[in-house]
Structure 1
Amino acid sequence: MDVFYAYTYTTAGWLSVQSAALTVAPQIIMTALLDETRTPTPLEIYFARTLGFSLLTLAALVIMLTGSIPLSTTVTEAVTTDDSDPKAPYAVPTLMTSTIFQGVCAFYAYTWYTFNGQAAFAVGVLGYTIAASIGLWCLLFASSHGKISRKTGADKRTTGFPFSNSEAEKKHAGKKL
């Protein structure tokens, strides 16, 4: 399993854990985060469960849009061997959006942790930071498959300035002859 799918499943898992806690037991979550002990209002319970359903929906979208689950209706469309056929055309935009989401949530949880010092926010910071770090790694390194030259095998994004790569030029010149 490559890092891209590890990020996809990590993100979906982390969002599902949060969703389960908010949907199943919103009273416990609110009691843990409030300073005074009181029963949450029905509106607070409603918003907590709605957020839980939203996080579960976001987790499902991340799994589907990154190509972990084939979205075609027949098996022959889902299983292709053509390299030019993208399995998930929305994989990189979904990766970018979910990584930004994880990073913003990590920052937000960190500001709450520094303000309140509660351990629940520290757990949130840790989970979001791990997911955002894996997503950033995938954005930087795992999504550059299309930048490799088929002729030379070199990375197309590199230049020779201020130094030239004479070995690559020799290999490229040898293939033309």
Structure 2
Amino acid sequence: MDVFYAYTYTTAGWLSLQSLALITVPHAITTLLLAETRPASEIEIYFARCLGFSLLTITVLTAMLTGSIPLTSTVSEPVTGEDSDPKAPYAVPTLAVTSGFQAVSAVYAYTWYLASGKTVFAVAMAGYVAGAAIGLWCVLFASSRGKISRRTGADKRTTGFPFGNAEAAKKHAGKRL
């Protein structure tokens, strides 16, 4: 499976898990996070369910905009060409936004963990850090196939700055002989 789609499904699963908990059992969330046990107020239940619906919406948008869920019912001709990418046109921007969301959420969960010491914040932080790390990796390395030179086999978009590629220079010098 492509790392990009693994990130998409992991993000969708993580956000769905959180949203379902917030929508179905907001009372349990309140019990986990408060020091004293008391029933959740109506406003806490309202905000928990609104956040749950928001996370579910982000999940669906992430799956649709990255091309994991096809938006057309017809099979189109495969796109050929050097710059064609099989992913949806909004896949990379969606990837960047969701990775940023997960990074900010990880920092926020970390601050709450430091302030309260509750394990639930550490678990949330770990999940968000994992998602943000995979998303960052995808933004940096898996967002395009690159431009591979037929002559040298090297990626045309790279340069030797600030370090030279001695191994590629040896291979290239060997072909001239």
The size of the alignment, in residue pairs, is: 172
Tell me what 1:94 maps to.
94
Deviates more, 1:50-59 or 1:150-159: 150-159
Residues 12-60 of structure 1 show CA distances to partners (whole Å, capped at 9, x for unaligned) of: 0000000010000001001110112211111110110010011011011
Q: Any conservation in 1 of the 2:63–2:69 contact (CA below 8 Å)?
A: yes
Distance 2:89 2:152 in 1: 26
Identity of aligned residues (%): 61
Distance 1:43 1:116 in 2: 22
Structure 2 letter corresponding to 1:96: A
Q: Any conservation in 2 of the 1:4–1:142 contact (CA below 8 Å)?
A: yes
Tell me what 2:35 maps to.
35
Cα shift at 1:142: 1.0
| Residue 124 to residue 68, structure 1, CA distance change in 2 (3 Å) | same
Tell me what 2:69 maps to.
69
Structure 2 letter corresponding to 1:136: L
| Residue 97 to residue 150, structure 1, CA distance change in 2 (3 Å) | farther
Matches within 5 A, 1:77-116: 77=76, 80=78, 82=80, 84=84, 86-116=86-116
CA RMSD of superposed structures (Å): 2.2
Matches within 5 A, 1:1-177: 1-74=1-74, 76-77=75-76, 80=78, 82=80, 84=84, 86-149=86-149, 152-161=152-161, 163=164, 165-167=168-170, 169-170=172-173
| Residue 135 to residue 121, structure 1, CA distance change in 2 (3 Å) | same
**Structure 1 segments unaligned to the other structure (5+ residues):** none
Q: TM-score, normalization: structure 1? A: 0.86
Residues 50-71 of structure 1 show CA distances to partners (whole Å, capped at 9, x for unaligned) of: 1001101101111111111111
Q: TM-score, normalization: structure 2? A: 0.86
Name the SS of the counterpart of 2:155 in structure 1: coil
Q: Any conservation in 1 of the 2:65–2:94 contact (CA below 8 Å)?
A: yes
Name the SS of the counterpart of 2:131 in structure 1: helix
| Residue 152 to residue 4, structure 1, CA distance change in 2 (3 Å) | same
Distance 1:127 1:51 in 2: 18
